[in-house]
Amino acid sequence: MADRGFDLEDRLETLEDDDLKRSLSPVDRVAERGYFADPSGGDLPVLDSAEALVFASNNYLGLTDDQRVQDAARGAAATVGTGAGASRLVTGDTLVHRDLERLLTEVKGTDRALAFSSGYAANLGTITALEPDVVFSDELNHASIIDGCRLADADTVVYDHCDAASLRSKLEERARTAAQDGRDPDEESWLIVTDSVFSMDGTVAPLAAICDAAEEFGAWMMVDEAHATGLYANGGGVVQAEGLEDRVQVQMGTLSKALASQGGYVAGSEALIDCLINDARSFVFSTGLTPPAAAAASEALHVARHSDVRDRLWENVAHLRDGLESMGFEVLGDSQILPVLVGDRTDAIALADGIREREVVAPVIRPPTVPEGTSRIRVVPMATHDQDDIITCLEAFQAAGEEVGVL
């Protein structure tokens, strides 16, 4: 009989041969971290159980450790329960969800907001529910956007990273070719999608210029604020920092980074949210966000808005960037994510190992994640790092950089 199964061993071997196979750490090493192991940086155990300073977390404001956020999660678990128990449309809707959505609406300056069980689910559900004919997508957009475009079966037009001129020429070209192909471009629905802060390059999209292009061509704008939510004006993202609330039809983000929780959201008009409640399959056919996750995110958003925690993050970012640059490192981007460009992948690995020996953890990002010759160390300070932590990190880079010969 023909074998109609799947040769998974072969597939895994190929990954292994190409040096691309990923694995979770062996369980005994995870166990050594202890139950309350770090996702949060600071003097906490890391994978090999040694004490080290972590400059690698997306928990930018350090709020996973915050007593108020932890109490909110605990309180919701105790009063509402640990799980939603069903889809929001069935019996999984609670006041904890409504409170989070009300806060997100306020912060994002929209009519309404909707929580999803992850940022990934929010992107997938939203892009498919919109049913765009064409999506114009930044070349470095997150995988969940790429997957959303695929699942929506949209024509996807990729423009150069953070390049509004490239976007504009793609919009012009599509308008021209649609007319040449006998299609009426005015009949097509066009969606422009971009991350606001890009996680591997630390770049910030030129949102105002992208909005200009969108408006000129009648397209809708969708912005993924996963790495920005909670960090900018009033606890919002780059859309808030630049006052673009009325020009961006779809504001999306995750609760899992600065908001120290799990889940995703979309904020926009009444009609958009109503449409998602009906047509976003990752919302309709998935259990509601767990109440503790919703409560933790609400509390984190509150803290992000009403305390000095954001200022502390940005002070650390400025201190670390200045220190690295004055040593002679090239630091990319213009956000809280500080990619230290090394270039050669072997040097980058050696540098990451060198800082690790000095008890500082920051990951090397190398091909195929980034192009050959642009290997880098992704350094991410947090609001909870103190001055000594920043100095330890800088000293590790100085010593390891000299040792490896990249300084």
- One of 97, 108, 170, 257 is an active-site residue; which one? 257
Helix (H) / strand (E) containing 347: helix 345-357
Asked if residue 354 binds ligand PMP (CB under 6 A), the reply is no
Asked if residue 316 binds ligand PMP (CB under 6 A), the reply is no
By CB under 6 A, the residues from 63 to 102 that bind ligand PMP are none
Smallest distance from ligand PMP to CB 88, Å: 17
Contacts for 19 with CB less than 8 Å, ≥ 6 apart: none
Smallest distance from ligand PMP to CB 258, Å: 12
Written as one letter, the residue type at 360 is: V
Q: Using CB under 6 A, which of 57, 110, 118, 251 touches ligand PMP?
A: 118
Asked if residue 265 binds ligand PMP (CB under 6 A), the reply is no
- Our answer to whether residue 199 is catalytic in this structure is yes
Rounded distance, CA 122 to CA 270, Å? 17
Helix (H) / strand (E) containing 197: none
Smallest distance from ligand PMP to CB 254, Å: 4
Smallest distance from ligand PMP to CB 154, Å: 18
Smallest distance from ligand PMP to CB 39, Å: 12
Asked if residue 393 binds ligand PMP (CB under 6 A), the reply is no
Asked if residue 148 binds ligand PMP (CB under 6 A), the reply is no
- How many residues belong to the chain? 407
Asked if residue 138 binds ligand PMP (CB under 6 A), the reply is no
Helix (H, G, I), strand (E, B) or coil at 285: coil
- Our answer to whether residue 161 is catalytic in this structure is no
Q: Using CB under 6 A, which of 65, 66, 195, 242 touches ligand PMP?
A: 195
Asked if residue 254 binds ligand PMP (CB under 6 A), the reply is yes
Asked if residue 406 binds ligand PMP (CB under 6 A), the reply is no
Asked if residue 226 binds ligand PMP (CB under 6 A), the reply is yes
Residue number, 32 or 147, with CB nearest to ligand PMP: 147
Going from the C-alpha of 252 to that of each of 122, 201, 227, 358, the distances in angstroms are 7, 20, 11, 38
Rounded distance, CA 211 to CA 204, Å? 14
Asked if residue 398 binds ligand PMP (CB under 6 A), the reply is no
Stretch that binds ligand PMP, among 78-86, 125-133, 171-179, 221-229 (CB under 6 A): 221-229
Rounded distance, CA 1 to CA 7, Å? 16
Going from the C-alpha of 383 to that of each of 66, 116, 173, 312, 329, the distances in angstroms are 11, 26, 44, 5, 23
Q: Using CB under 6 A, which of 148, 235, 264, 333 touches ligand PMP?
A: 264
Q: Using CB under 6 A, which of 55, 60, 120, 232 touches ligand PMP?
A: 120
Stretch that binds ligand PMP, among 116-124, 208-216, 309-317, 387-395 (CB under 6 A): 116-124
258 within 8 A of 106, measured Cβ to Cβ:
no
Backbone CA torsion sign across 19, 24, 30, 36 = positive
- One of 118, 137, 199, 375 is an active-site residue; which one? 199
Asked if residue 335 binds ligand PMP (CB under 6 A), the reply is no
Structure token pair of residue 69: 């956020």
| Residue with token string 């606001």 | 196
Asked if residue 144 binds ligand PMP (CB under 6 A), the reply is yes
Compute the half-sphere exposure of residue 40: CA atoms within 13 Å on the CB side of its CA: 18
Rounded distance, CA 142 to CA 269, Å? 24
Written as one letter, the residue type at 262 is: Q
Asked if residue 203 binds ligand PMP (CB under 6 A), the reply is no
Q: Using CB under 6 A, which of 108, 112, 142, 385 touches ligand PMP?
A: 142
Residue number, 297 or 350, with CB nearest to ligand PMP: 297
Which residue has its beta carbon closest to ligand PMP? Answer: 119
Rounded distance, CA 12 to CA 174, Å? 40
Phi, psi of 393 (to 5 degrees): -65, -45
Q: Which of 165, 149, 387 is nearest to 157 (CA)?
A: 149
Rounded distance, CA 118 to CA 101, Å? 14
Q: Which of 100, 82, 76 is nearest to 287 (CA)?
A: 82
Residue number, 254 or 286, with CB nearest to ligand PMP: 254
Q: Which residues are designated catalytic? A: 199, 227, 257
- For ligand PMP, the binding residues (CB under 6 A) are 118-120, 123, 142, 144, 195, 199, 224, 226-227, 254, 256, 264
